[in-house]
Structure 1
Amino acid sequence: MKRILPIAALLLSGCAVSVTNNEVATPQSAQDALRPFYSALNTNLPQAAANPVLSSNETVTRFAFGSCVNENRDMKIWDVIAAQKPQAFLLIGDNVYGDTRTTNSADIPTLTASYRKLGSRIEFDRFRRSVPMMTTWDDHDYGANDAGGTFAFKERAEKIYEAFWNSSAEVKSRPGVYESRIVGPQGKRVQFIILDARFFRSDLAVMPYRDPGPALGWYIPNLDPKASVLGEAQWDWLEGELAKPAELRFIISSTQVITDAHNFEGWTNFPKERDRLYNLLADKGVSNAIFLSGDRHSGGFYKVSNPRIAKPIWDFTSSSLNFAFGKGDGGDREPDPRRTGGLWGVPNFGQIDIDWTAKTVKMSLRKDDGSVIEEQVVQAID
């Protein structure tokens, strides 16, 4: 039974959500409490420039992706990516750094200001007007570092996100920002499955404090059987998407999927959820999926085999577009048997080239001058 509090106390607190017979139902979450406040806010939110549409009938042979764009830093990489003539670009998280200098105000003014600044940058605006884009978010454009489903202001963050990126009706119709598209004619269909690893994610488990702190992060696996990355509604949706026919699939996760080599954020924090992900691929007979990820401010390639999946599973991480944390290969700091090469802490973007005749996918990690850092060619097409 819901606890009933005097109406005056809740009205003064700003937490009133419903009134019945001069009594107010206690909000069951921070989101419940904030909805009346958000409903009264000004809806004049920043919007990115109009974006061309990638035709559903177009045969995709090249697209690019990246993550971690600081709206205040150099933007030359947008012109470099455009020069590669990608048919689409996937911006997959930390699309702005809206949680810096935060006021902790419920309307997240720093997030709105960051989007407005990104939209004003000439290079980004030019790119946005010329290359079809798909997006998801990570923590810094979600509104708080490493935040998940308990983030109090997430519904406001979603509203800001959807306004700026002119999200599809599908995204706007439900909580979270996940969506999917299939592009290309039969025999050359590419499915883009764009996950939301923030809105529904359970809290992270943290190791006990120590000094000095760990070099590779504080998080440990959350083994609670109820812990989730995607939430049940998104899991059900993903199962339905993987049942759709496509010759090649890209599953976009803002955080890394395969690696266990660090204790920062990633699916390594939720090993039971990652097992569920692999098992879902196996149950659906999906062996033509490649993961694309970001978040790490370094780029690299990761590979793992699963006895129930016919082909190796790849995770191609590209991060950061203009906010890298190193100057070269930092792989020695983070040894990882699942990483196939270096861990490149330089500004970078990912490029995917699809050869439908050879049934190959070439994955290129590229510098901000367009030159290749590393490449992998895989037989991923069914």
Structure 2
Amino acid sequence: MTKSISRRRALQTGVIATASFATASAFTSSVSADTPSHTAPDDHVVFQHSVASGDPYAHSVILWTRVTSHPGDYAGRNKGVDTHLRWEVAQDDSFTSIISSGEVLVTSDTDMTAKVEATGLQPYTGYSYRFIVQSGPYKGQISPIGHARTAPASGQHVKELRFALFSCANWEAGYFSAYQDMADRGDIDYALHVGDYIYEYKRGEYTGKSGAVRDHLPAHEIVTLQDYRERYAQYRTDPNLQAAHEACPWIVTWDDHEFANDVYSGGAEGHDPQTEGPWITRRNAAMRAYLEWQPIRATQVSAGGHIYRNLNFGPLAELNMLDLRTYRNKQVEFSAIRKVDDESRTMLGSEQFSWLARKLTSSHATWNLIGNSVMITPVLIPPLDPETSLAVTQLLGLPEEGMPYNVDQWDGYAAERRRLLHMLQDKGVDNAIFLTGDIHSSWANDVPVEPGKYPSKRPAAVEIVCTSITSSNIDDIVKLPEDNPLSLTAEGAFTGLNRYIKYLDFDSHGYTVVQVTPEYVHADYLLLTPDGKLQPNQPLTRKMSARTYRGKGISQHGDAINPHFHSAR
């Protein structure tokens, strides 16, 4: 698909004055005739970070924006001036028929971000929305137009839903063409981002094979509330990311790099209390900035809240978004690798585990989707059957199911994973689809209850793993071309040993489109050409597709999702 910077993109990056966003007839319904010109003093653009929507319900959706109240109002620095905004939701971009509206006061307490719930909407309906400045020298300036779709109602049958599955966008490692590709499609109902929306590293510390293509701000590793706010603000100036947020509602959860590398409940591998202060202070700052800058229905953990949550999409699907960082135990050391089988170790925490079990076993939806930030599929060298390999594992000090290669994912919490998968099997839950990121590579997996006995027993679930948008994978790390012999050998070794891995691509970057229908769930893996992330606005193409039917495993599939465009857009 050919990429171009549209008129709207140019507007958002300040190339064209904000006066061009709408004609007078488009905003006279809410702005009086004596409203000052959109081109305010010094041509200052108030909505530099565009707009976003998220967490759709059948009759409401969250709307978001940030106000840059004057030229010196930088994110994180408490320089903003209180500003009144009006928000409007309409049937289309003309805004001649306002469906829902209201006002909100934006203050520096939330880093000049605004988050409101637009209510009174119709189920599974597309809407246009915008914000308008109501006070100060830039009164009358209008935001870019965003598009949101509500969820189907509890009894409303729809033929399909389409999700864009994203993960791992590192500003310094490449350009965000995957976001633009999704925005240009016109057929995505909801974007699902399962973590590593930003990266916390200092400038130049974690880049791609050819170094940084653009520099992080601030230059140092982010630790304080100001730091995290400034880093989010930088990412949200990216025109491709802005286009993706404008295109549809987002449903998000965090992984580790919204905080620091390899986070657990009491700290992180990437945090040094001696030089960076108490972990709890950094954690709370990171959480606060995340909740300010994302269109999410959640409250601070420090205030008794949580971000794991359930969204209902009518009879077709429920979506359970997990938090796999806040409650987990510290990752085990390889010198004590058998501790992955310790029954007391947890990834979810007891309350979240119980919540998820209730949601999955009480659901009447055709599909139970699970937003899962790290892989749940066992990746073992090799998978072992505990009944026949007990003597060997005890002699060598190995975990009972085999040696994991990454203890930061569910393999490091094997006992809790077994409890979860056995629960799915015992309760007859045969429709669970884990939608995952984190690992900077594309996978399509059956999730076996007993890895060493696969395929004699049917899998407990399937897992669709999207690759990174830009973050380094094998070819970047070893600084070789994509599909080099080392990468291909690793792919062959993992799929050969773990037969439930049906597809693996270690080198490409992009995202995955997930189509949910009453009959099947289908995934298209849309990927950049080799090193395509090093140039802006590059095309993506389908490299592979996979499909699963209820109660069955997943397998590669020849067909792509047929494109279509929502009439409301």
What band does the TM-score fall into relative to the shorter chain? Answer: 0.7 to 0.9
Q: Counterpart of 1:251?
A: 370
Letter in 2 for 1:157: A
> How far is the alpha carbon of 1:237 from its aligned partner?
1.3
Counterparts of 2:111 and 2:508, CA distance in 1: 33
Per-residue Cα deviation, 1:6-26 (whole angstroms, up to 9, x for no partner): xxxxxxxxxxxxxxxxxxxxx
1:220 to 1:147, Cα distance in 2 relative to 1, 3 A: farther
Pairing 1:370–2:540 present: yes
Tell which structure's C-alpha radius of gyration is larger.
Answer: 2
**Local SS of the residue matching 1:52:** strand
1:223 to 1:306, Cα distance in 2 relative to 1, 3 A: closer
> How far is the alpha carbon of 1:331 from its aligned partner?
4.9
Q: In 2, are the aligned partners of 1:147 and 1:198 still within 8 Å (CA)?
A: yes
Counterparts of 2:510 and 2:221, CA distance in 1: 31
Q: In 2, are the aligned partners of 1:255 and 1:266 still within 8 Å (CA)?
A: yes
Counterparts of 1:328 and 1:171, CA distance in 2: 43
> Which of these residues, 67, 80, 83, is aligned with residue 184 of structure 2?
83
**Local SS of the residue matching 1:371:** strand
Counterparts of 2:309 and 2:285, CA distance in 1: 19
Q: In 2, are the aligned partners of 1:287 and 1:310 still within 8 Å (CA)?
A: no
**Local SS of the residue matching 1:129:** helix
* Worse overlay, 119-128 or 328-337: 328-337
Pairing 1:229–2:347 present: yes
> Which of these residues, 447, 457, 462, is aligned with residue 314 of structure 1?
462
Equivalent positions of 1:80-119 (< 5 A) are 80-84=181-185, 85-100=187-202, 107-119=224-236
Equivalent positions of 1:131-142 (< 5 A) are 131-141=248-258
> How far is the alpha carbon of 1:236 from its aligned partner?
1.8
> How far is the alpha carbon of 1:341 from its aligned partner?
2.4
Q: Counterpart of 1:275?
A: 418
**Local SS of the residue matching 1:202:** coil
Q: In 2, are the aligned partners of 1:350 and 1:365 still within 8 Å (CA)?
A: yes
Per-residue Cα deviation, 1:138-163 (whole angstroms, up to 9, x for no partner): 1111x110011112232222211111
Q: Percent identical across equivalent pairs?
A: 20
**Local SS of the residue matching 2:525:** strand
**Local SS of the residue matching 1:341:** strand
Q: Counterpart of 2:501?
A: 339
> How far is the alpha carbon of 1:112 from its aligned partner?
2.2
> How far is the alpha carbon of 1:191 from its aligned partner?
0.9
Pairing 1:161–2:290 present: yes
Pairing 1:56–2:152 present: yes
RMSD: 2.9
**Local SS of the residue matching 1:124:** helix
Counterparts of 1:280 and 1:287, CA distance in 2: 11
Q: In 2, are the aligned partners of 1:256 and 1:294 still within 8 Å (CA)?
A: yes
Pairing 1:144–2:260 present: yes
Q: Counterpart of 2:562?
A: none
Per-residue Cα deviation, 1:185-224 (whole angstroms, up to 9, x for no partner): x3xx21111110000010011124xxxxxxxxx9775333
Counterparts of 1:346 and 1:260, CA distance in 2: 20
**Local SS of the residue matching 1:94:** coil
Counterparts of 1:176 and 1:343, CA distance in 2: 34
1:224 to 1:354, Cα distance in 2 relative to 1, 3 A: closer
1:137 to 1:331, Cα distance in 2 relative to 1, 3 A: farther
1:147 to 1:43, Cα distance in 2 relative to 1, 3 A: same
Letter in 2 for 1:284: K
> How far is the alpha carbon of 1:83 from its aligned partner?
2.9
> How far is the alpha carbon of 1:234 from its aligned partner?
0.8
Counterparts of 1:197 and 1:181, CA distance in 2: 18
Letter in 1 for 2:542: V
1:204 to 1:51, Cα distance in 2 relative to 1, 3 A: farther
**Local SS of the residue matching 1:271:** helix
Counterparts of 1:162 and 1:281, CA distance in 2: 32
1:104 to 1:294, Cα distance in 2 relative to 1, 3 A: same
> How far is the alpha carbon of 1:109 from its aligned partner?
4.0
> How far is the alpha carbon of 1:316 from its aligned partner?
1.2
Pairing 1:328–2:466 present: no
Unaligned runs of 5+ in 1: 1-41, 209-217
> Which of these residues, 352, 361, 373, is aligned with residue 521 of structure 2?
361
1:221 to 1:54, Cα distance in 2 relative to 1, 3 A: farther
**Local SS of the residue matching 1:340:** strand
Counterparts of 2:340 and 2:175, CA distance in 1: 38
Counterparts of 1:225 and 1:312, CA distance in 2: 20
Letter in 2 for 1:81: M
Counterparts of 1:146 and 1:46, CA distance in 2: 30
Q: Counterpart of 1:182?
A: 312
Pairing 1:201–2:201 present: no
Per-residue Cα deviation, 1:23-75 (whole angstroms, up to 9, x for no partner): xxxxxxxxxxxxxxxxxxx7343749977243233734321101001234312
Counterparts of 1:118 and 1:378, CA distance in 2: 35
Give the aligned length.
326
> How far is the alpha carbon of 1:343 from its aligned partner?
2.5
Structure 1 length as normaliser, TM-score? 0.76
* Worse overlay, 65-74 or 44-53: 44-53
**Local SS of the residue matching 2:240:** helix
> How far is the alpha carbon of 1:119 from its aligned partner?
1.2
Q: In 2, are the aligned partners of 1:47 and 1:166 still within 8 Å (CA)?
A: no
* Worse overlay, 152-161 or 166-175: 166-175
* Worse overlay, 238-247 or 270-279: 238-247
> Which of these residues, 550, 553, 558, is aligned with residue 380 of structure 1?
550
Counterparts of 2:357 and 2:370, CA distance in 1: 12
* Worse overlay, 153-162 or 106-115: 106-115
Equivalent positions of 1:209-224 (< 5 A) are 221-224=339-342
Unaligned runs of 5+ in 2: 1-107, 115-143, 204-218, 268-278, 381-404, 451-455, 476-481, 529-538, 553-569
> How far is the alpha carbon of 1:105 from its aligned partner?
7.4
1:263 to 1:305, Cα distance in 2 relative to 1, 3 A: closer
Counterparts of 1:343 and 1:105, CA distance in 2: 31
Counterparts of 1:364 and 1:324, CA distance in 2: 21
Q: In 1, are the aligned partners of 2:298 and 2:305 still within 8 Å (CA)?
A: no
**Local SS of the residue matching 1:201:** coil
1:104 to 1:124, Cα distance in 2 relative to 1, 3 A: closer
> How far is the alpha carbon of 1:344 from its aligned partner?
3.1
Q: In 1, are the aligned partners of 2:442 and 2:503 still within 8 Å (CA)?
A: no
